[in-house]
Structure 1
């Protein structure tokens, strides 16, 4: 069969591109090394509960075009992400807001909270934040940093906060309102019935052939020879045989269990922010869809050091790795028939709506069709 494209990876980036290409009459072969489609947004049904197999995924965006685009594949509920933090049994609201400040300091007004944070920032002597620790203290003060940021962040990244770049924490929401909604975005929710159905619908065209349990690197040279264009969403450093050395990633380990109780923790996501608890959070999946099942399913999420052969989840975008990535990027530019996309192909952290936006931007570039309102 004559194909126009080989898409490597059935996550959102690859699946959106395959769907759009097939809509335009292009024949697509899509391969994935896993035994299922949908990449890290894959959900599977256990005891009637949609379980997020690779960690919590909450869809959120301010872009109406992206929101309408994803809603053609599933109906979304009104789930609002309101995680809580558990520090040695003390419970605090996230994101950091007036409920957090009231619990910690007994303050009632925004000015009272701001005064305490400013006092702690001055006491710490921070003028220009040089690392994550200093950036966090300048945002929320030393009390919140020591209880709710330091332990969690150092577990997540496997490094001391003083060794992490400041930009990692800049996206941390801090609000002086009594609002527990983690995201400021206008649109937010979870697809009723899970995420896997979305990708199933994207890949349902008879112009798309899906092959699972297929590692690109087992037939790399053959693919490069036989396909006019390849959309590659795997690790860019692996594609080039790590010739500049492997880029660094953080990996995760998930421990999932079904419990014979109706409700384990009362919230979908609880972060454990002390440095002694080995996992970073517990996800109780039924709460994403307001479940009333008699049982519940929970997942403990353990961050771990990544090594070749492990699943990469988060790029470590420090200066050294970013310099190395640019070298790989330059190699990629010499291959006009290969496009590198997604979180691993571009060595960049993306939320789901950003992945869709990036894929649609590639569609626009590839097929010369302007879609207004899409930004990434």
Structure 2
């Protein structure tokens, strides 16, 4: 006789949404989390009245009405609009690439002038019909100035590889807008939970038994003995003991700094596109919530090669890893009583709304069984 219908390994957004839905439909769930807190990478910690995004900026955005209605059951959002900046050699550019960006680059005023400038620069790359790498793809899409100022060095720093050694698929398109609009997302809904992401996770897991500092791999046999089914949201290759080799990731290191000033950079997110600057961006957390505190907290984000001692963040979806992933997916499909989900369980980079949609879909599928 099993104690639980579902054991959920991992208390991130995917696992928490799945657990909430299953619990709502009468399924008894246990959530285990190897970290000392719930919430995975969307965990926020409050200090000096400022909610710190400990694992990088998380800005909720969606145009999925079902997802928006669902998540608003558990939190309310402020009206934060993501308008990041890029700092390249001391010059500030607006993101995404829009008329404010083009005016700074070329002193153009009208959309027609900007389009002509981009088309003129792209002409020299018209002979590239099938881009073989990221650099060729980007140059073909946006030309020299945008690429060399705002894409090349940032991308190479983020991925730790020359742009001409990265797959073209990473940059399938370059988001270009011919309007003076600095709103990074096109989605209808966006914002930050007013009480923070940690409270959102607490609300999702309300009345669900949850243990932190509990590693599934320390007692696999026991966990399988207490639950009818397991949702595993950790690394899919680790679950199968890396039988086909390890999947590759990029990792991150975060440096959190408390400053006795009211405002450091005047914006929530500023990217640093120069290769010689080791971090990719600085986050100033108070600006996510329009904070008026007397002090501020910033986070510098450093890209890293992934090792077993680091947290895996970005999957590297090249040919080698795609082949390896398919082997693990085949194993997963033939593994009884275990289902895989989330960014690590599916080896995919999901926005938060996609994560919620995937978790809802999986829960509905399970409830039909």
> Are the equivalent residues in 2 in contact too, given 1:139–1:174 (CA < 8 A)?
no
Alignment partner, residue 337 of structure 2:
337
Alignment partner, residue 348 of structure 2:
348
Alignment partner, residue 127 of structure 1:
129
CA distance in 2, matches of 1:139, 1:82: 23
TM-aligned CA deviation for residue 287 of structure 1: 0.3
TM-score normalised by the chain length of structure 2: 0.97
CA distance in 1, matches of 2:252, 2:186: 27
Alignment partner, residue 39 of structure 2:
38
2:10 is the counterpart of 1:9: yes
CA distance in 1, matches of 2:240, 2:146: 43
Alignment partner, residue 136 of structure 1:
138
CA distance in 2, matches of 1:314, 1:259: 30
Alignment partner, residue 170 of structure 2:
168
TM-aligned CA deviation for residue 127 of structure 1: 2.9
Which string of whole-angstrom CA distances, capped at 9 and with x for unpartnered residues, describes residues 135-165 of structure 1? 2222221111111101111111111111112
Alignment partner, residue 107 of structure 2:
106
TM-aligned CA deviation for residue 132 of structure 1: 1.2
TM-aligned CA deviation for residue 368 of structure 1: 2.3
Structure 1 SS opposite 2:228:
coil
Alignment partner, residue 201 of structure 2:
199
Alignment partner, residue 250 of structure 1:
250
Within 5 A, what are the aligned runs for 1:44-123? 44-123=45-124
CA distance in 1, matches of 2:244, 2:320: 12
Aligned residues: 367
Alignment partner, residue 177 of structure 1:
179
Which string of whole-angstrom CA distances, capped at 9 and with x for unpartnered residues, describes residues 56-111 of structure 1? 00000111111111111111011111000000100000000011001100111112
- Structure 2: gaps spanning 5 or more residues: none
CA distance in 2, matches of 1:185, 1:166: 25
Which string of whole-angstrom CA distances, capped at 9 and with x for unpartnered residues, describes residues 11-41 of structure 1? 0110001101111111111101100000000
2:175 is the counterpart of 1:187: no
TM-aligned CA deviation for residue 171 of structure 1: 5.2
Alignment partner, residue 311 of structure 2:
311
TM-aligned CA deviation for residue 126 of structure 1: 3.0
CA distance in 2, matches of 1:171, 1:291: 35
Alignment partner, residue 260 of structure 2:
260
CA distance in 1, matches of 2:122, 2:174: 17
TM-score normalised by the chain length of structure 1: 0.95
Which structure 1 residue ranges, 4+ long, deviate > 6 Å from structure 2? Answer: none
- Structure 1: gaps spanning 5 or more residues: 370-376
TM-aligned CA deviation for residue 193 of structure 1: 2.0
The CA RMSD over aligned residues, in Å, is: 1.2
Alignment partner, residue 25 of structure 2:
24
Structure 1 SS opposite 2:231:
strand
Structure 2 SS opposite 1:292:
coil
CA distance in 2, matches of 1:258, 1:126: 48
> Are the equivalent residues in 1 in contact too, given 2:142–2:174 (CA < 8 A)?
no
Comparing 115-124 and 267-276, the one that deviates more: 115-124
Within 5 A, what are the aligned runs for 1:212-291? 212-291=212-291
Structure 1 SS opposite 2:278:
coil
> Are the equivalent residues in 2 in contact too, given 1:173–1:182 (CA < 8 A)?
no
TM-aligned CA deviation for residue 222 of structure 1: 2.4
CA distance in 2, matches of 1:263, 1:310: 31
Comparing 123-132 and 289-298, the one that deviates more: 123-132
* TM-aligned CA distance change 1:171 to 1:71, over 3 Å: farther
* TM-aligned CA distance change 1:21 to 1:69, over 3 Å: same
TM-aligned CA deviation for residue 167 of structure 1: 2.2
